[in-house]
Structures are given as structure tokens and as C-alpha cells.
Amino acid sequence: MTHTNLVPLYCLHFTILLMWIFQYLTAYLNFLVELGVLLGGSEETSQTLMKEIVDFETTLANITVPQEERRDEELIYHKVEAKDLKDLAPAVDWMPYLTEVFAPVTLNESEPVVVYAKEYLQKVSELIANTNKSLLNNYMIMKVVRKMVSVLDQRFQDVEQRFLEVMYGTKKSCTPRWKLCVSDTDSALGFALGALFVKDTFAEDSKATAEEMVAEIKRAFEDSLKDVSWMDSDTKKAAKEKADAIYNMVGYPEFIMNATKLDKVFNDAYVNWIKKNGEEATLPALGMTNHQLFFVGFAQHCLLPSGEVVGERKYHDTDKDL
């Protein structure tokens, strides 16, 4: 019998798959280790802890039921009551969890619950019960860290970028960081950012000119109403009311140019939020009130390395990344 070097095709496919999984897991582990080091861990500890996390996630993935086995709704539909969940998955303290998630809707133990992943819940509960609490804690923290990487500083972005390049051979986003900062700041502190923009770019008289034009258009519209014969008087009255209701949104609202009023808007928003939701616990070891953190959060997030503030940059002068 002669020996052959030919490998059957399915074997080759399998080898490629294994190579890909190995490459993925290596890149993923490196990513977590680097994050751990950036967060202040030593290389060695980070390596040990992150390896545990990757192994845990591998086990978790193994008990996840593939989508193609979940197509038959009737087969996976299990209607139970909230109190039955603790028999199904005792590792989770269900009632406090559900109460929190559904607040302010009140629930009791007879609340009907439809479980679409019975076996998964059972297995995940066993996994939680048999896994070292310290590892579970690290796993959950790293989940949060990974989610928040995009709002952490450039070193974190670079680490994520390297991981994504290995994984997908592409960059995650071509949007320069300064644009993300401007858009985040805009959605949170829009009026304040608007004021900076107006100061920087608006010609003094352009708002007045545009407002004058809008007033003219409104006047012309109302004049023309007098002469249209095809509208009855009720319709004309409605049309006039509509014209009167045109809300002037030219340029910017006047108050944003007055720092006192602008401060009041944000301060009131925060104070009202506290009134409604109650004071939050302060973060330990920071030595700052939540009020201070509320403002520092945005400032820090959007500070350029040189200490220059994003709002002071012109919107159009550069496409460079921060």
C-alpha cells in the first residue's frame, strides 16, 4: 500500500475552520489582555484572568442553542409562571431581577412568563453555579469595558482597532474621533455647543436678515389670502391661523447667547432630573459630587490631547483624527 499526501477535502475545510477559530481566539485574548493592562493590571495577571474569561465564554457559546434549531416556535414555547423560573434556573434571583427590570409595573410570582430557551436557561444556571464568582465578576466587568471602549481614550481605541483588523480586515469606523465627539456633545449639550458655533461662524446681521425674509413671506401669504376666491371664509380663517403659527426657527434661539440663561437651562435640567429620580449614589474614591461629574464627563470625553476644546474648532477645517 502506498502512502498518500492527499488530504480529503472535508478535512481541509475543517482545518481552515480550526485555523480561523484559533486565530480569532488568539486575537480576542490579546485584545482582552491589552485592555486589562491599560486598566492597570500587570501583563501576567491580565493574561491569566483573560484566559479564564475566554475559556468561560467558549463554554457559554457551547451551550448556546444555534439559531437553526430555534425555528419551530411551538417547540421552544414554554409558558410558566414567574415562580417556576427559580426551579428552572436557580442561579438567578429572579423576582428582584424582574421587579427591577419591569418597574414601575408591579409583578408577583404568578406573573405568566414565556420561556423560549428552556435548556439554555437550565445549562447557564448550572454554569453560573459551577463557576468561580471571581471569574464571573471579571467576565461581567470586561463585558462593560468592551462596550465602553468607544468612549475611552485613544489607547483603548487603538487596541480595539487592532482586534477588529485581525477579525474583519477592516476599520470599524472611518468617522474621525473629533466628529464623534462633536455629535455626542451636540446630543447632550446641544444649546451650549450651538452657542459656540454661532459665536464662531454667524455673521451678526444674517439672522436678522433671514428673520425679515420669513416675516415678509408670512405677510405676503396673508395678503394673498384676501384675494383667493376659491376658499370659503372658514378655510381662510384656518389658513390665517396656520400662517400665524409659523414658528420662527431661523438661526438659533436668542437665549443660547446669554451665558446666564444657558447655565440655567442645563442646571435646571439636572436639578429636575434629581427631583424626579432622586440623588444617585456618588462614585467612591473620586471626591466629586454627581453634579460636578455630570459636567466633567462631557468635558473630559471631548478634550483634545493639547487641551484644546472641541467646540472651539471650526467644523470644516480638518478631517484629521484627534
Ligand X SMILES: *[C@@H]1O[C@H](CO)[C@@H](O)[C@H](O)[C@H]1NC(C)=O
Interface residues toward ligand X, by CB under 6 A? 58-59, 62, 108, 110, 132, 134, 258, 260-261
Residue spans of alpha helices (H) in the chain: 9-38, 43-63, 73-76, 85-88, 94-102, 118-129, 133-148, 154-168, 177-201, 206-227, 233-244, 259-277, 290-301
Q: Least distance to ligand X from the beta carbon of 4, Å? A: 32
Residue 57 or 186 with smaller CB distance to ligand X: 57
Residue 5 or 106 with smaller CB distance to ligand X: 106
Q: Which residues of 196-233 are buried (b: 16+ CB within 10 A; e: fewer)?
A: bbeeeeeeeeeeeeeeeeeeeeeeeeeeeeeeeeeeee
Query: Beta strand 78-81 with 112-115: parallel, antiparallel or unpaired?
Result: antiparallel
Q: Which residues of 285-318 are buried (b: 16+ CB within 10 A; e: fewer)?
A: eeeeeeeeebeeebeebbeeeeeeebbebeeeee
CA distance 142 to 148: 10
CA distance 47 to 31: 10
Residue 4 or 260 with smaller CB distance to ligand X: 260
Q: Which residue's C-alpha cell is 455673521?
A: 203
Residue 5 or 110 with smaller CB distance to ligand X: 110
Q: Least distance to ligand X from the beta carbon of 38, Å? A: 21
Residue 129 or 283 with smaller CB distance to ligand X: 129
Q: Least distance to ligand X from the beta carbon of 309, Å? A: 22
Residue 65 or 243 with smaller CB distance to ligand X: 65
Q: Least distance to ligand X from the beta carbon of 122, Å? A: 12
Residue 37 or 54 with smaller CB distance to ligand X: 54
Instruction: Find the largest Cα–Cα distance for the chain.
Output: 105
Q: Least distance to ligand X from the beta carbon of 111, Å? A: 7
Residue 32 and residue 142 in contact, taking contact as beta carbons nearer than 8 Å: yes
Q: Least distance to ligand X from the beta carbon of 179, Å? A: 32
Residue 109 and residue 81 in contact, taking contact as beta carbons nearer than 8 Å: yes
Q: Least distance to ligand X from the beta carbon of 36, Å? A: 14
Q: Using CA atoms of 80, 86, 91, 92 in order, give the dihedral in degrees to the nearest 10.
A: 70
